[in-house]
Amino acid sequence: MTDLAQKIQKDNFKYCAMSESNPKWENSISRLDELMQKPFDIRSPFDRDNTRILHSSAYRRLKHKTQVFFATNNDHICTRIEHVNHVASISKTIAKTLGLNVSLAEAIALGHDLGHSPFGHHGERIIEKIMDEEGFNEKFWHEKNSLHFVDSIETLSNYSGFKENLNLTYAVRDGIVCHCGEVNENSLKPRDEFIDLNLIEKGKYMPYTYEACVVKISDKIAYLGRDIEDAYTYKFFEKADLMTLKQLAQEVMKQKVRFKDVNTSSLIHEFIVNLCTNSNPDCGLTFSLEHYEMMNKIKKFNYQKIYSNKRFVPFQDYATLVINTIYKFLLGYYDGYNTINKLAKYSKFYKTLALDFSDWLIKYSNIDEKTHLLRKYRNKIIYNIEEMKDYKKAIIDYISGMSDSYAIKAYNELIEF
């Protein structure tokens, strides 16, 4: 056995794992509604959530959503779905090593960005500004929107063919809304309170389970190295920047490295091993001080050299135009219960928006309850079409679920003749 293997206390969190012996178990597996189940289902509650997330439309759309680099034509640049799978892979490795519930960690990781806006975090800022200008008291943040999507938007057909909401377990829903990867403390422990997740404010609560804490850290581990690789591919770095990265890596790895060694694989390995070596139930999930400082330095480097790079500005301006144009276009067709008839008149010109948004209203509002039933929808009705504010929220939700490519397609239909 190597010295490193001896340092890792394998399974040292097994008594903290989310299992039937955990006092939080019943709360963690609880659902908002009863979930139909076939006899002899061999899956655990979290395995079922995992499957429901994988089969959801929001998960599929992640492959065409921005991670960092907008509208990439390079198949090897990270999109949101690759990021999600990176987080799932890292979370499973850490959870398995520490003796935590791997199925729970994986389900949270796969679902954590289901409500992410198109055009990455810039899209998030655009939607937040729209909501602020429209007088909404709530802020838009993708963690809360992801909870909204798994609770109220995404549906699956049940065994009778009726489309119902995902109805995930509390532990998975909690991990999704509390997943923010901007971890600023070097010791993560779960909270004890079993609270209404819709009351959670951004950054104010730790997750309810250790598995969700693992995902919270894994989210950060996943994007730091991957974003560096993609930025290098697009020649974002000067020679001095590459030297800075080498020095950062050498400070911790205690050996000479080439820039090419500062990649996704090496950074993920370095942080996973360090976390598993230094964490225990008394201290929580913890990096060594050196690795924690290195992580923050790399994050700072990425913000300065990648995320704030002026090369993003033209496309950010374009994304702002796309989202605002779509919002204003749909807003102009509001006419109470007559809205879908009004949209139908222009469907031959604006097929994507007119038809798809009409379907959205039928599925999620009370605009046409007869058609809602005929289409075998059994999901929640969340918009009252008589309320202008509900109509605005319907547009915002619709836009927030779009992929980049879908939003661009819809916008192009509006400007082409």
Q: What confidence tier does 112 reach under pLDDT thresholds 50, 70, 90?
A: very high
Cα 159-165-170 angle, rounded to 5 deg: 110
Considering the domain boundaries, does residue 68 fall inside one? yes
Same domain, 316 and 218: no
Last residue of a domain, one of 286, 308, 330: 308
Distances (CA, A) of 405 to 62, 71, 151, 164, 385: 11, 8, 25, 27, 28
Which residue, 260, 286, 308, sits at the end of a domain?
A: 308
* pLDDT number for residue 1: 43
Q: Are residues 169 and 94 in the same domain?
A: yes
Residue 352 sits in the same domain as residue 245: no
**Does 217 lie in the same domain as 93?**
yes
Q: Which domain holds residue 329?
A: 311-415
pLDDT at 9: 61
Angle of helix 170-177 relative to helix 102-111, nearest 10 degrees, comes to 50
Give CA–CA dist 384/99, Å, rounded: 47
Co-location of 255 and 341 in the same domain: no
- Checking if the pLDDT of 169 tops 80, the result is yes
- 17 & 71 share domain: yes
| 126 located within any domain | no
Structural domain contains residue 137: no
Residue 214 lies in a domain: yes
Cβ(176)–Cβ(148) under 8 Å?
A: no
The reply to whether 144 falls in a domain is no
Number of domains in the chain: 2
Mapping DSSP to helix (H, G, I), strand (E, B) and coil, where does residue 383 land?
strand
**pLDDT at residue number 20:** 96
Question: What is the rounded average pLDDT for all residues in the chain?
Answer: 92
Let me know whether 107 and 236 are in one domain: yes
Q: Is the pLDDT of residue 252 over 90?
A: no
pLDDT score of 127: 98
Query: Helix (H, G, I), strand (E, B), or coil: what is residue 365?
Result: strand
**H helical segments located in 134-238:** 142-148, 170-177, 210-233
110 shares its domain with 242: yes
Of 283, 308, 333, the domain-final residue: 308
**Rounded to two decimals, what is the model's pTM?**
0.94
Q: pLDDT by residue (tens digit) across 265-282?
A: 778 888 999 999 999 999
238-256 in b/e burial notation, b at 16+ Cβ within 10 A?
eeebeebbbebbeebeeee
The pLDDT tens digits of the residues spanning 20-56 come to: 999 999 999 999 998 877 777 788 999 999 999 999 9
* DSSP state letters, 10-39: TTTTTTTSSSTTSTTHHHHH-BSS-----T
- Between the alpha carbon of residue 170 and those of residues 27, 30, 49, 105, 197, the distances in Å are 7, 6, 10, 13, 9
Residues 204 and 332 in one domain: no
Most confident of 9-23, 196-210, 324-338: 324-338
Q: Specify whether 252 is located in the same domain as 187.
A: yes
pLDDT in tens, 84-99: 999 999 999 999 999 9
Question: Does 101 reside within a domain?
Answer: yes
Q: Between β-strands 163-165 and 155-157, what pairing exists: parallel, antiparallel or unpaired?
A: antiparallel
Say if 187 falls within a structural domain. Answer: yes
100 with 74, same domain: the answer is: yes
Are residue 375 and residue 289 in the same domain, yes or no? Answer: no
CATH number reported for the structural domain that contains residue 170 in this entry: 1.10.3210.10
Whether 146 maps to a domain, the answer reads: no
Which phi and psi (to 5°) does residue 163 adopt?
Answer: -85, 115
Closest by CA position to 112, among listed 56, 64, 174: 174
**pLDDT average, residue stretch 380-385:** 97
